[in-house]
Amino acid sequence: MSNFLLEVQGNKLLNQSIFAHRLQIYDDRIVFKKRGFIKKEEVTIAYTQIAQANLRSGLMFATIEVINSGGFENAIIKHVPNKDAKRAKNIIDRKIREVHSKPEHNLNKNSTISDILEKSLSRVDELYKKGRLTKKEHIKKRNEILSHN
């Protein structure tokens, strides 16, 4: 079971909504909750699927944007108090570093070079199919992967 670390939400008044977006941070994932009058969305994002976290600070409030490489739109929470936003970004950055600093975190010890190439090519193809890469970027990335062999 994962440990809950922090929850941040935007200011309801400044967001002009009675349902502010929320970001719940756990030790192994984040949960982005978006709610309106009619529909409710909840997306769980593993730290392995987070490319980066951005923070844009103002005088009193900040915007947190979590760039998701896993297929869902980026998680954006506006009008978060600066102190909470900075704390959330620091936790997310630390967790991203932990996950990405583990060598070959998605591969086991028996993986071969061809396994690594296959996984890399599959990931690039998946990003292209989801519209995250243009055709030109897709071809460039595939060629980069294949040229490293």
pTM: 0.66
Q: Which of 58, 48, 39 minimizes the C-alpha distance to 123?
A: 48
Domains and CATH numbers, the chain: 4-101 (2.30.29.30), 113-147 (no CATH)
Q: What is the pLDDT at residue 128? A: 81
Secondary structure in 3-state letters for the chain: CCCEEEEEECCCCCCCCCCCCEEEEECCEEEEEEECCCCEEEEEEEHHHEEEEEEEECCCEEEEEEEECCCCCCEEEEEEEHHHHHHHHHHHHHHHHHHHHCCCCCCCCCCCHHHHHHHHHHHHHHHHHCCCCCHHHHHHHHHHHHHCC
Q: What is the pLDDT at residue 105? A: 46
Q: What is the pLDDT at residue 1? A: 64
121 compared with 92, residue with greater pLDDT: 92
Q: Residue 146: is its pLDDT beyond 50?
A: yes
Helix axes 135-147, 113-129, angle to 10 degrees: 180
149 compared with 6, residue with greater pLDDT: 6
Q: In this structure, how many other beta carbons lie within 10 angstroms of the beta carbon of residue 102?
A: 10
pLDDT in tens, 84-118: 999 999 999 999 888 877 665 455 555 667 777 77
Q: Residue 22: is its pLDDT beyond 80?
A: yes
pLDDT in tens, 49-67: 888 899 999 999 999 999 8
pLDDT confidence band for 149 (50 / 70 / 90): low
pLDDT > 70: what percent of the chain?
Answer: 89
